[in-house]
Amino acid sequence: MVTGLSMGEGLPEKRDVGDGTVFRTEGLTKVYHMGEVDVQALRGVDMELFSGEMVVLLGPSGSGKSTLLNILGGLDTASGGCVTYRGMDLTKATDKELTQYRRSHVGFVFQFYNLIPSLTALENVTIVTEVSDNPMDPRDALRLVGLSERSDHFPSQLSGGEQQRVAIARAIAKNPSVLLCDEPTGALDSATGVLVLEAIERVNREMGTTTAVITHNSDIAAMADRVMRMSGGMIIEVTVNEHRKPPREIHW
């Protein structure tokens, strides 16, 4: 491997303390070419994500939140600038290396859950643990999100909130070092959304998983250690919460 990004050998340590920086981006840009027009989704993002913290990304639609998260998670590659994960340059990684990176380090939660409809809740978790190096027992993961009893149900037999909790179980079951959530409550009502957020918060708290949550809902920002506001492809403001508000106390 030319890029010097070596993974899968347990390197680097998942619970790196070092300087505590998990992600660092510098002048990160992303341009989508749509025929004639170029869409500038990111216009130079400089940010850091520290080990164990919970960050909420806020911003209007089209501001580039998902784009940023996708690049951090290795789903997409940047057009310019630099993004490192624990000192390794993701911008130079090959497709194969990104796959290995996602497999070893990243857990995703998506707005529309994206469970595999032909697999049960448990199997949806298993399908991920089967390809990770150091997974937890899929049943434990389901227990963590409070769905042990529903493990043999298919997604079509679960409510939206339950599906999203299965998605969280799926994301954490591999013991990822980072958990990236793109509007996890976007399709849910407030009460259900709280359950989902509680699950995320618990993972972050109990397992120390570095967590980034995208939301449109500024109320949710209260549960974060830090809040980043995006607009027009840039981070325009970062605020630090003195203390995190438990999701239970959040209403919208």
Ligand X SMILES: Nc1ncnc2c1ncn2[C@@H]1O[C@H](COP(=O)(O)OP(=O)(O)OP(=O)(O)O)[C@@H](O)[C@H]1O
From the list 21, 40, 91, 114, which residue makes contact with another protein (rule: CB under 8 A)? 114
Segments in the chain forming alpha helices (H): 65-72, 95-105, 121-129, 138-144, 160-172, 190-207
Are 211 and 55 a contacting pair, CB within 8 Å? yes
Binding another protein by CB under 8 A: which of 96, 191, 240, 243?
96
Return the ∠ at Cα 187 (arms to 109 and 43), rounded to 5°: 60
**Residue 63 binds which entry of Mg ion, another protein, ligand X, none, with Cβ cut-offs from 5 to 8 Å by kind?**
ligand X
CA distance 175 to 72: 17
Nearer to ligand X, 1 or 32 (CB): 32
Measured from the Cβ of residue 110, the count of other Cβ atoms closer than 10 Å reads 18
Which of 14, 102, 165, 226 is close enough to bind another protein by CB under 8 A?
102
Site for another protein in 157-216 (CB under 8 A): 170, 174
Of the CA atoms within 13 Å of residue 202, those in its CB half-sphere come to 16
C-beta closer to ligand X: residue 67 or 211:
67
The site that binds another protein (CB under 8 A) totals a number of residues, namely 32
**Binder to another protein among 106, 178, 181, 199 (CB under 8 A)?**
106
Residue 106 in 3-state DSSP?
strand
Minimum distance, C-beta of residue 95 to another protein, in the bound complex (Å) = 7
Of the residues 126, 177, 209, 215, which one makes contact with another protein according to CB under 8 A: 126
2 makes contact, choosing from another protein, Mg ion, ligand X, none, with CB < 5 to 8 Å by partner type, with none
Strand, coil or helix: 31? strand
| Residue indicated by tokens 């972050």 | 204
Nearer to another protein, 100 or 185 (CB): 100
Beta carbon of residue 128, minimum distance to another protein (angstroms, whole number): 5
Q: Does 231 bind another protein (CB under 8 A)?
A: no
Judged by CB under 8 A, which stretch of 129-137, 189-197, 205-213, 220-228 contacts another protein?
A: 129-137
Give the chain's length. 252
Tell me which H or E stretch contains 46.
strand 37-50
* Rounded (to 5) percent helix, strand, coil in the chain: 30, 25, 40
Contact letters for ligand X, residues 27-66 (x by CB under 6 A): -----x-x----x-x-----------------x-xxxxxx
User: Using CB under 5 A as the criterion, which residues of the chain lie in contact with Mg ion when the complex forms?
Assistant: 66
Task: Give the CA-trace dihedral at 125, 16, 22, 245, to 10 degrees.
Answer: 70
Residues that bind ligand X (CB under 6 A): 32, 34, 39, 41, 59, 61-67
